[in-house]
Amino acid sequence: MIVGIDLGTTNSLVAVWKDGGPRLVPNALGSFLTPSCVGIDADGHVLVGEAARERLQTHPGLSAALFKRYMGSARLMRLGDRDFRPEELSALVLRALKDDAEAFLGEPVTEAIITVPAYFSDAQRKATRVAGELAGLKVERLLNEPTAAALAYGMHEGQRETQFLVFDLGGGTFDVSILEMFEGVMEVRASAGDNMLGGEDFATLIADLAFARGIREAARMDAGFMQRLAARAESAKRELGMHGKASFEIQWQDQHANVELDANAFEKMAEPLLNRLWRPIERALRDARIRAADLDNVVLAGGATRMPMIRALATRMFGRFPAVGLNPDEVVALGAAVQAGLKMKDKALDETVMTDVCPYTLGTEVVRALEKGQMAEGYYAPIIERNTVVPVSKVERFYPAHAQQREILIRVYQGESRMVRDNIRLGEIKIPIEPGPAHANGVDVRFTYDVNGLLEVEVRVVATGEARRLVVESGQAHMSPQEIARRLDALSALKIHPRDTLENRTLLARAERLYEQLLGSAREFVGQMISRFEQVLATQDPRLIARDAIQFRDALKAIEADSHFAPDRGE
Ligand code: AMP
């Protein structure tokens, strides 16, 4: 049996071709979405999915997420006392999905079609294949995500030549692809995107209202508060889509904010974000030399396209209704299963891709000014954006943060995250400057990326012309067959948390996360529930455990929903 897998940055899904159609496979918790998170439990067992996601906050040193961003690089992520390559972490997610599919189908699963972004480079594609191998899967094929979305809508079935656009707005990125289907061959004609634009930005707009409504800016430094605020804003965003209005209350120390808004106000606020959707679309159309009017169809993918304002905008942009009917966060996995079905019938689709682009965003670190003269470090300033056609050379001017600085340090990063700590560091250059007013001490930073994946960074002091250079070679990260065999052995030796008790483990992880967020009597109450549930688990009585798990889950749900228990109220 061949399964189709959407190996996503935040969530992954597996689907199969069954009874003449693609079917999503639920995981051990009954959900189609498995968070792409891996963690190590106290007893050394590996946890994958929701339980690992819950533990990101409570056990950051034992949890990993967002590793898709590092596929194809040599970056290691440390979990407990062991370093993992991104391929290995992906392999653990793939193995969990394989187990889910086997439980669902009642037969062994040995082959998979795995989807990758259209802009993935050769190194990233190789790394994805290795991840499959490490998970015990023969990777039948890597399928481009936009192609998969199109297959889910049956766009390969028409006879004539068709051209369409896939509009994919996920949590943190916006990807546009133009595809052409002709005589059984699907071609990715162009892809463009904005790595700094996604559904999360819409939630951030809502969260920011709390500061306009009475919470002081200083609260931004309180990570716990920011997490609670982000969760409220995320629910409000979904609520706005469903009911056209939403409200929530939040408190920080002695300050209180009441946030209320309706769909119109939200859309007005979101206008700058909505405007940013145009550019990549125009660019993709231009690169593919197609006019919007010549598109046969528009396909929506990514969870954030569930927002009614995005659907309305897409309709206005293209003068037609986009294809809907499938859940946008499920179309890629469904499409992978369609390809699996075609393959099993021995008439799979051919696919071509263009990859003469710089597959990553390349940039440098900058300091941002906050209110009252405070400075925050660690922000990422993209210079060459992902998907830029190569060769390319771009220059940006930067200024020292302080007047008395004697040198400027330019750190070079690759990646798509807002903060440099989440990106891959490629190197750094230092250049001396004369102390003096910052505005007179600019340096020009030029990034040049060529067709061989060579990045050259040149830093030049504008006033004196003095320059320094750094050359970074990419694509260094391939694993040898021996290395793969060694990693496979090491992975096989890991103890994986048993699938049948994962649900209870996830409940505990969720309760531990709540315990850390809450204060006072509410925290104490959660602590007692955790101890009680641990005692019940120790009885090993399945009926007792099942009954208590239901109560435990309901109680946690009530606490999360009930604003009286909300930690920001203070007890
Ligand atoms: P994806 O990367 O495709 O899983 O998309 C994740 C993004 O979709 C996140 O920013 C979510 O907030 C967003 N999203 C998921 N469901 C909804 C919804 N019902 N309304 C608005 N945004 C949603």
On the 0-12 / 13-18 / 19+ scale of CB atoms within 10 A, 218 is: middle
Residue 382 vs residue 160, higher pLDDT:
382
The answer to whether 175 touches 119, Cβ cutoff 8 Å, is yes
Are both 56 and 130 inside the same structural domain? yes
- The verdict on 309 and 447 lying in the same domain is no
**Residue 336 and residue 412 in one domain:** no
Q: Lowest-confidence range among 82-86, 126-130, 144-148, 420-424? A: 420-424
What is the pLDDT, as a whole number, of residue 570? 37
pLDDT at 309: 97
Predicted confidence at residue 354, as pLDDT, reads: 62
Q: What is the pLDDT of residue 568?
A: 46
CA–centroid distance, 171 to ligand 1, in Å, is 6
Instruction: Give the distance (Å) from ligand 1 centre to CA of residue 306.
Output: 7
CATH number for the domain harbouring residue 332: 3.30.420.40
Domain contains 311: yes
pLDDT at 476: 57
Domain total for the chain?
3
In a domain, 351, yes or no: yes
Nearest atom of ligand 1 to the alpha carbon of 202: 10
Can you give the pLDDT at residue 355? Answer: 57
CA of residue 238 relative to chain centroid, distance: 18
User: Residue 472's pLDDT is what?
Assistant: 83
**Residues 21 and 60 placed together within one structural domain of the fold:** yes
What b-and-e string marks burial along 461-492, b requiring 16 or more CB atoms within 10 Å of the CB? beeeeeebeeebebbebebeeeeeeebbeebe
- Distance from the CA of 14 to the center of ligand 1, in angstroms? 18
Of ligand 1's atoms, which has the minimum distance to the CA of residue 241?
20
Q: Tokens in use for 32?
A: 């189609």
Instruction: Give me ligand 1 centre to Cα 172, in Å.
Output: 10
Q: What is the mean pLDDT of the chain?
A: 90
Reply yes or no on whether the pLDDT at 566 is more than 80.
Answer: no
Give me the numbers of helices (H) and strands (E) for the chain, helices first please: 15, 28
Q: Ligand 1 mean position to 11 CA, how many Å? A: 11
> Is 173's pLDDT higher than 90?
no
What is the 188 CA–ligand 1 centroid distance (Å)?
25
Tell which of 475, 490, 524 closes a domain.
475
Q: Where do the H-state alpha helices sit in 397-519?
A: 481-492, 502-517
Q: What is the pLDDT averaged over residues 186-208?
A: 90
* In a domain? residue 512: yes
Give the mean model confidence (pLDDT) for residues 218-239: 90
Contact predicate 489/88, CB 8 Å: no
Which ligand 1 atom is the nearest neighbour of the CA of 9?
Answer: 2
Q: How confident is the model at residue 108 (pLDDT cuts 50, 70, 90)?
A: very high
How confident is the model at residue 485, as a pLDDT?
A: 92
Would you say 9 and 28 are in contact if contact means Cβ atoms under 8 Å apart? no
Residue where one domain finishes, among candidates 342, 357, 372: 357
CA-CA distance, 5 to 14, in Å (whole number)?
Answer: 4
Report the separation in Å between the CA atom of 384 and the middle of ligand 1, taken as the mean of its atom positions: 27
Each residue of 272-289: pLDDT tens digit?
999 999 999 998 998 888
Please report the atom of ligand 1 found closest to the CA of residue 198: 10
Domain that holds residue 548: 499-569
Which CATH number fits the domain that encloses residue 455? 2.60.34.10
Pocket test for ligand 1, best of 237, 266, 313 (most atoms within 8 A of CB): 237
What is the residue with the minimal CA distance to atom 18 of ligand 1? 238
> What residues line ligand 1, using a CB cutoff of 6 Å?
10-11, 170-171, 198-200, 234, 237-238, 241, 302-304, 306-307, 329
Instruction: Select from 24, 36, 69, 238 the residue to mutate for testing ligand 1; criterion: most ligand atoms less than 8 Å from CB.
Output: 238
Torsion sign across C-alpha atoms 120, 121, 122, 124: negative
How much is the pLDDT for 474? 59
**pLDDT tens-digit readout, 323-378:** 888 999 999 999 999 999 999 987 778 887 765 678 788 999 998 877 777 788 89
Cα 469 to Cα 381: distance, rounded to the nearest angstrom: 19
- Segment 12-24, tens digit of pLDDT: 999 999 999 999 9
* Per-residue confidence band for 564, with pLDDT thresholds at 50, 70 and 90: very low
pLDDT of residue 190: 87
Q: Among 333, 356, 360, which Cα is nearest to 71's?
A: 360
User: How confident is the model over 370-406, as pLDDT tens digits?
Assistant: 777 778 889 999 999 887 877 899 999 999 988 888 9
Evaluate whether residue 250 is within a structural domain.
no
Q: Is residue 258 part of a domain?
A: no
Going from the Cα of 302 to the center of ligand 1, the distance in angstroms, rounded, reads 7
What percentage of the chain reaches a pLDDT higher than 70?
97
Do 38 and 77 sit in the same domain of this protein? yes
247 in a structural domain: no
pLDDT of 555: 94
Query: What is the rounded distance in angstroms from the CA atom of residue 149 to the CA atom of residue 290?
Result: 20
Question: What are the two backbone dihedrals, phi and then psi, of residue 178, each rounded to the nearest 5 degrees?
Answer: -110, 125
Claim to verify: residue 347 and residue 367 sit in the same structural domain? no
